[in-house]
Structure 1
Amino acid sequence: MTSLFETLRDRAQKRVRYNETVAELSATSLDTRLDLDIYKGDIPQIARKAVYGA
């Protein structure tokens, strides 16, 4: 039963990190995002890869 709670806690922590990453990338200026080749529509995918892996 402990592993179930650990799994749930891990998933919740990853979701928080995902939301934080999306917020940070969204808050970045347009000029900076364009310099990094990050388009607004790509932000969720970039955050997903950063938090959850490939």
Structure 2
Amino acid sequence: MTLIDTIRQTISKRAVYARTKHEIKSMPLDVALDLNIDRDNAAQIARQAVYG
């Protein structure tokens, strides 16, 4: 993998992380409760989902 590919992959993952975090934080409370998700942990959940 070249340096450019690594940079592109990093930028792409960061965008997915930001979008996932935003979606979790803006999720309606009833949906979050149904999925057993604490919206206050959005950053941690998004990090785990994107980066493993």
Check whether TM > 0.5: yes
Equivalent in the alignment of 2:30: 31
Deviant stretches of 4+, over 6 Å: none
Give the TM-score of the pair, scaled to structure 1: 0.83
Unpaired segments of 5 or more residues in structure 1?
A: none
Q: Which runs of 5+ in 2 are unaligned?
A: none
**Percent identity at matched positions?**
42
Over the aligned positions, Cα root-mean-square deviation in angstroms equals 1.3
* Residues 2-51 of structure 1, C-alpha deviations (whole Å, 9 max, x = no match): 71111111000000000010111112101111121111221111111111
Aligned to 1:46: 45
Question: How many residues end up aligned between the 2 structures?
Answer: 52
